[in-house]
Amino acid sequence: MYDKPLSDHARKYEEFAASQIIVKRRLTKSSGQIGTSSMTNVSLAQASEIVDRAIAHGREQGYRPLTVAVLDSGGHLVAFKREDQSSLLRYEIATGKAWGALGMGTASRNLAGVADQRPAFMNAIISASGGRLVPVPGGVLIRDSDGSLVGAVGVSGDASDQDEACAVAGIESAGLTADTG
């Protein structure tokens, strides 16, 4: 059906998506209710450190003005900064990179691979998300020391690879693990 073979990024995403078919819920013995394991979130202090360090990294590297958004594991905005001279749509792009990574459970770099290999599928996902998903590098999942997902950061302002490097610098500065896919 598809003319192109899947890229490594697209293949990783396909494997991930297949694994998500199995719903990870447990039946609690005490109440018999369906529950999920407790979720942790990136703290305001951690999110603030991520934003500040991502911007500092961009300044050190001479990148264009950046916009950085940190979302918790539920997709709620925790911290946000927009540098002076950052263009108008950067908030939506940064948030869309982070939101897309959370929504699909993989870094936006992998989503870019899927968009290249399966544009109709990606267009459907973008439509299903109300246009909130931005499938280009710069959206990075944030994991704690146990490997649990605690949020995502999205950076926009320079080339996507540089945006991603700033996100990683910010996450690592906060003592967390960057998951770029």
| pLDDT 10s digits, 100-130 | 999 999 999 999 999 999 999 999 999 999 9
| Cβ proximity of 57 and 169 under 8 Å | yes
The number of beta carbons lying within 10 Å of the beta carbon of residue 140 is 32
| pLDDT 10s digits, 30-49 | 333 333 444 589 999 999 99
pTM of the model: 0.77
Q: If we measure between CA atoms, which residue out of 168, 165, 145 comes closest to residue 157?
A: 165
The domain of 161 spans: 38-179
**Hey, is 149 helix, strand or coil?**
strand
Quote the pLDDT of residue 153. Answer: 98
Mean predicted lDDT score pLDDT of the chain: 84
Kind plus residue range of the DSSP H or E element containing 141: strand 139-143
Neighbour-count burial of 60, counting CB atoms closer than 10 A to its CB (0-12 exposed, 13-18 middle, 19+ buried): exposed
Query: Where is pLDDT greater, at 55 or 9?
Result: 55
Q: How many domains does the chain have?
A: 1
* Rounded distance between C-alpha atoms, residue 157 and residue 49, angstroms: 19
Look at residue 96 and tell me if it is in a domain.
yes
Give the CATH number of the domain where residue 71 resides: 3.30.450.150
| Cβ proximity of 91 and 81 under 8 Å | no
Look at residue 110 and tell me if it is in a domain.
yes
Quote the pLDDT of residue 154. Answer: 98
Scanning the structure block, which residue is given the tokens 């998951």?
179
Look at residue 3 and tell me if it is in a domain.
no
Look at residue 18 and tell me if it is in a domain.
no
Structure tokens, 78 = 């925790």
